[in-house]
Structure formats: structure tokens, C-alpha cells
């Protein structure tokens, strides 16, 4: 008998053909089947499920600004205080860059399949997260699993610029970004204490106490997933990440790299301690010189790619890098003036100072451009929302106007006083709804005028698809359609300078 693993995502287009008749049942590696999971084979006829973590980036040198940590953390603020960081993806599909992250914490069964000398016998007990191993053991697992895949199933690994992806522990930024819900949640939801939990924390997280884990590690996948389809990213087992712990220093991380970073909380964490910002330091070694292990400390793996994948990629990155801070003609002129000035200076120390100043100016320009692009994306989202609002107000207004017209016409001239009063009430409702529509149409028009005054057309256009992709990732595809309608009105105004409220209302309300 032959079995297959089929991916539902076109990213890898894998089909794993096993020569064994005793392949793991799906419940042992993917107990909660979700659409678009990526399934990779493992030794011993096993498998591991991954989720695609989109990053909102398009180009290799592009990254997304994110804020990690908590805005209100007081206890251990040196560990959890809100800190700027950046995220980017390793692979590209349909113009969006992403990395892969294991859907579940690595189980005992999966760990034994890679690290053991003999293949384990499948059992539900072995679905427990693998704990009581060191950071070095977790790194070795990722290494051995990568080598096995490259040797036995290289065609099943995603590739970037022709180079195979590989497994490692996720970085602190990757781990928290994914735990918070990444691009699948709104900006405000991303900054909440946890990802959205409509049915309460108990449905999503194992924590301390008789109402939850009750002092016991739980098998993977029993709770509901976060918005990215990741299970147990908070609670159950703390998770080790790739980079060493660094203290927070208000707006940046401290220069010293210490012990290992652990994230997420565990089954012995109190409910009020569970948060996406939880980050703590654990030692790599105990006082007795042995590698540190803990009963509530596990891990999951990320699948990523190298950056400088080829000489051609290096040239592309170099070209993009030298364009940083020089987007406008004015920026390019400033950089050129610095270079001309530097070439006319013979003093080497002064040349270094000019170069440093040039880099500072370019970095400032780049930061300015990134802030502008974020503002443009916010403007496009606002315009789309206002367009939907016009649609809703127009429907209400049409209904009120029709009711008032039909009802008052039926009264005739001999109606009773009470009928006339009803007619007057309907007419007043129609008047109020018309006023609300007119007000919103004016605000919508103001937004168009102000946007076109503030940003050049090409700057707005560059961000349109990014905004639509973000809304689609947040399952707001209906709102993404209104981005196109808002852009149509922006484009018309850029070209004609005419304010056409009635036409804009009609197009926003069009089904």
C-alpha cells in the first residue's frame, strides 16, 4: 500500500510517496487539519505540519516595522517593554514574502523520529510537546531534520533564488510576530495583550490551575489556534528561540547578548501572566555545567532561507541598498553633492566625516520614506472604510426617502392628524439620513483632496496593492474592493481636480 502527503498550498507543490505501509496517521502530526497547511515528510514515515507566515513585504531588502513587547509592562520591563523591531520573509509567492513556522510544538514522537537510533511506535502519549531538552538539543534537531530533508526530499523543500530552505529555531521577532497573529490581525489587535480570543482565553491556552492544565503538560493541538493557525503559541510549553536574550533599553535592545530567550508561558504560568509579550532569559548551562533543561520548556521550528543566495542576488541587494534614502530626485541630488564634495577633499579624516554625515542623511531619508509609506497605507485604508460607509449611508437614505415619499403620497389631502404626523416623522428621518450622507460625502471628498495634496500619485499607487494584500490577509476582502474604488476617485481627482460627490457616492454604493 502506498500513501501520500498532498500540500494544499502551491508554495511547495509536494507529494510525498512512502515506500512503507505503516505511515503515521494524521492525528499524530496534524490533529487539527486547517486549509493551506504545508506538510513535510519526516524520518520513520512521519510528517510535520507548517503554516505560511506572511510578513507584508515584497522585496528581499524590504522589511516591516513592528513593535514587540508590552506598552504597559511594569514587572520585568527590562525584558518585556515595548521595543521597535523589524520582520521580513525568506520566500516569495505571488508578490508576498513569507517564512514557514511549525503548526504545533515539536512533539516527543517527532523528536524521537529525528534524533532516535530506532523509529518510535506511534501513540497519543507521544503527542506531548518534547520538553526536558536543552537549547543545543533543539538546534541539533533542526540541523538533523534539515540534513535529512536535503538528502532524501530536496525537491520538497521551498526554494529561494534556487537555494533550498532550511530549519532552525525561530528568532525572537519571528516568534512574537507569529504569536500575535502577524498580518492576519489589525494593527490595534497586534498590540493587545494576546491575539483575539472571542470565546475567552480558556479555549486557546493551557495555563496553571484546575480550570486549565492543572499542573500537567498537555498533548498538542487540543486548544483552538491563533489567527495564523498556530497551536499552543501561548501556554502549554515555553518555547526556545534562536537568538540570545537581550535587555530592553527603552527604545532599543541592550548591547549584551546573554542566555537563551524563552517565550509564550507554559502550563505552570498563572492565567494573568499569559501574554504575547512574555519574554524571559534562561541559562544555557546549569551551575553544575550541564546544559539547561526544564519540564515546561519546548520548541517549534521555522523554515527559512539564506539571504545572499547567489551572486546575482547579491548584486540585486547591493543595487537596492544603494538606492536607500534616494527615492526622490532631491534625495539623489543631496547624495551626489556629498560625493562631489568628498571627492574634492584631500583630508582623509574630513572625508570620513563627510561619509558619515552622508550615511546619516540617507538613513534619515529612508526612515522618512518608510514613515510616509505607512501614512499612505493608512490613508488608503481610511478612504476604503469611508467608501463603505458611504455605501451603507446611501442605502439607509434611499430607504428613508422612498418610505417618506410613498407613505406621504398615500395620505392624500384628507388624512387624519395622526397620519400627517407620521408623514412628518418619515420626512424628518429622510432629512436626517440625507444630512448624514452629505456630511460623510464631504468628509470623503476632503480625504481625497488632502491625500492628493500631501502625496504624489505614484507614491499612493505603490502602496495600493500592499494595502489590499493586508486586508485580504485579515479576511477583509470586501474592504479590499473598496480600496480600488477609493483609488479610482483619487486617480480621477489627480487628473481633473474635480470634486464629484454624487458620482463618488454612486460608485461606492455600486454592488
pLDDT at 68 over 90: yes
Give every CB contact of residue 337 below 8 A, 6+ residues apart in sequence.
none
Q: What is the pLDDT of residues 210-234, one digit of tens each?
A: 999 999 999 999 999 999 999 999 9
| pTM for the whole structure | 0.78
pLDDT number for residue 329: 66
At 157-199, the pLDDT tens digits run 999 999 999 999 999 999 999 999 999 998 889 999 999 998 8
What is the mean predicted confidence (pLDDT) over 40-64?
A: 95
Q: What are phi and psi of 15, to 5 degrees?
A: -140, 115
Instruction: Convert the pLDDT of each residue in 427-459 to its tens digit.
Output: 898 899 999 999 999 999 989 988 988 888 998
| Cβ-contact 184, 475 below 8 angstroms | yes
Residue 237: predicted pLDDT: 98
Q: How far apart are CA 161 and CA 170, in angstroms?
A: 21
Sheet containing 260-263, strands listed edge to edge, beginning at the edge strand earlier in sequence: 279-282, 260-263, 238-244, 297-298
pLDDT digits (tens, 9 = 90+) for 113-157: 999 999 999 999 999 999 999 999 999 999 999 999 999 999 999
DSSP string across 409-477: HHH-SS--HHHHHHHHHHHHHHHHHHHHHHHHHHHHHHHHHHHHHHS-HHHHHHHHHHHHHHHHHTT-H
pLDDT in tens, 446-500: 899 889 888 889 989 989 998 998 888 888 888 889 999 999 999 998 988 888 9
Judged against a pLDDT cut of 60, whether residue 414 lies above it is answered with no
Tell me the C-alpha to C-alpha distance, in Å, between residue 26 and each of 51, 95, 103, 106, 301: 16, 32, 13, 15, 19
Residue 1 has what pLDDT? 35
Q: What is the mean pLDDT of the chain?
A: 88
What pLDDT digit, counting tens, does each position of 284-337 carry?
Answer: 999 999 999 999 999 999 999 999 999 999 999 998 888 887 776 666 666 666
Residues 130-161 as b/e (b if ≥16 CB within 10 A, e otherwise) read: bbebbbebbbebbeebbebbeeeeeebbbebb
**Residues contacting residue 290 through CB under 8 Å, at least 6 positions apart:** none
Report the C-alpha gap between 126 and 215 in whole angstroms. 18
Residue 415 pLDDT > 70, yes or no? no
**pLDDT tops 80 at residue 71:** no
* Residue 14, pLDDT above cutoff 50: no
Could you tell me the CA-to-CA distances from 257 to 113, 127, 176 in Å, in that order?
33, 33, 18
Closest CA to 497 of 445, 458, 438: 445
Residue 222: its pLDDT value, please?
Answer: 97
Half-sphere exposure in the Cβ direction for 480 (13 Å, CA): 14
Q: Where residue 7 falls among pLDDT bands split at 50, 70, 90?
A: very low
- Quick one: which H or E segment has residue 303? strand 302-304
**Residue 203 pLDDT class (50, 70, 90 cuts):** very high
Q: What is the pLDDT of residue 94?
A: 86
- pLDDT per residue as tens digits for the range 17-49: 333 346 899 999 999 999 999 999 999 999 999
Amino acid at each position: 500500500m502506498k500513501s501520500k502527503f498532498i500540500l494544499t498550498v502551491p508554495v511547495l507543490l509536494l507529494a510525498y510517496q512512502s515506500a512503507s505501509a505503516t505511515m503515521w496517521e494524521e492525528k499524530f502530526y496534524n490533529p487539527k487539519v486547517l486549509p493551506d497547511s504545508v506538510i513535510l515528510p519526516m524520518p520513520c514515515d512521519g510528517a510535520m505540519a507548517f503554516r505560511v507566515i506572511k510578513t507584508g513585504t515584497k522585496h528581499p531588502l524590504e522589511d516591516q516595522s513592528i513593535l514587540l513587547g508590552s506598552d504597559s509592562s511594569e514587572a520585568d520591563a527590562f525584558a518585556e517593554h515595548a521595543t521597535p523591531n523589524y520582520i521580513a520573509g525568506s520566500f516569495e509567492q505571488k508578490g508576498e514574502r513569507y517564512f514557514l513556522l511549525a503548526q504545533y510544538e515539536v512533539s516527543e514522537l517527532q523528536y524521537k523520529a529525528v534524533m532516535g537510533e530506532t523509529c518510535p511506535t506511534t501513540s497519543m502519549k507521544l503527542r506531548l510537546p518534547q520538553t526536558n531538552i536543552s537549547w543545543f538539543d533543539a538546534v541539533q534537531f533542526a540541523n538533523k531534520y534539515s540534513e535529512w530533508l536535503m538528502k532524501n526530499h530536496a525537491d520538497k523543500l521551498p526554494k529561494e533564488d534556487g537555494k533550498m530552505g532550511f530549519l532552525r529555531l525561530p528568532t525572537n521577532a519571528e516568534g512574537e510576530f507569529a504569536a500575535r497573529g502577524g498580518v492576519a490581525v489589525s494593527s490595534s489587535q497586534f498590540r493587545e495583550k494576546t491575539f483575539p480570543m472571542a470565546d475567552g482565553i480558556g479555549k486557546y491556552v493551557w495555563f496553571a490551575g484546575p480550570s486549565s492544565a492543572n499542573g500537567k503538560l498537555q498533548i498538542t493541538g487540543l486548544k483552538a489556534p491563533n489567527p495564523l493557525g498556530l497551536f499552543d503559541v501561548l501556554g502549554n510549553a515555553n518555547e526556545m528561540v534562536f537568538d540570545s536574550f537581550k535587555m530592553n533599553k527603552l527604545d532599543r535592545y541592550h548591547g549584551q547578548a546573554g542566555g537563551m530567550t524563552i517565550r509564550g508561558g507554559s502550563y505552570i504560568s498563572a492565567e494573568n501572566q499569559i501574554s504575547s509579550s512574555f519574554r524571559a532569559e534562561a541559562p544555557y548551562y546549569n551551575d553544575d555545567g550541564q546544559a539547561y533543561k526544564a519540564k515546561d520548556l519546548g520548541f517549534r521550528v521555522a523554515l527559512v532561507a539564506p539571504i545572499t543566495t547567489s551572486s546575482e542576488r547579491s548584486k540585486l541587494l547591493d543595487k537596492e541598498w544603494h538606492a536607500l534614502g534616494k527615492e526622490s530626485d532631491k534625495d539623489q541630488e543631496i547624495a551626489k553633492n556629498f560625493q562631489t564634495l568628498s571627492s574634492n577633499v584631500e583630508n582623509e579624516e574630513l572625508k570620513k566625516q563627510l561619509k558619515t554625515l552622508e550615511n546619516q542623511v540617507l538613513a534619515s531619508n529612508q526612515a522618512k520614506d518608510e514613515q510616509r509609506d505607512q501614512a499612505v497605507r493608512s490613508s488608503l485604508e481610511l478612504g476604503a472604510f469611508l467608501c463603505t460607509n458611504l455605501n451603507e449611508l446611501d442605502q439607509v437614505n434611499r430607504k428613508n426617502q422612498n418610505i417618506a415619499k410613498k407613505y406621504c403620497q398615500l395620505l392624500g389631502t384628507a388624512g387624519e392628524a395622526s397620519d400627517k404626523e407620521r408623514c412628518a416623522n418619515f420626512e424628518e428621518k429622510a432629512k436626517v439620513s440625507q444630512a448624514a450622507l452629505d456630511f460623510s460625502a464631504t468628509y470623503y471628498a476632503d480625504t481625497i483632496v488632502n491625500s492628493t495634496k500631501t502625496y504624489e500619485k505614484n507614491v499612493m499607487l505603490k502602496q495600493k496593492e500592499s494595502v489590499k494584500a493586508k486586508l485580504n490577509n485579515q479576511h477583509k476582502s470586501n474592504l479590499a474592493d473598496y480600496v480600488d474604488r477609493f483609488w479610482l476617485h483619487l486617480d480621477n481627482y489627480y487628473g481633473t481636480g474635480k470634486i464629484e460627490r454624487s458620482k463618488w457616492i454612486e460608485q461606492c454604493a455600486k454592488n
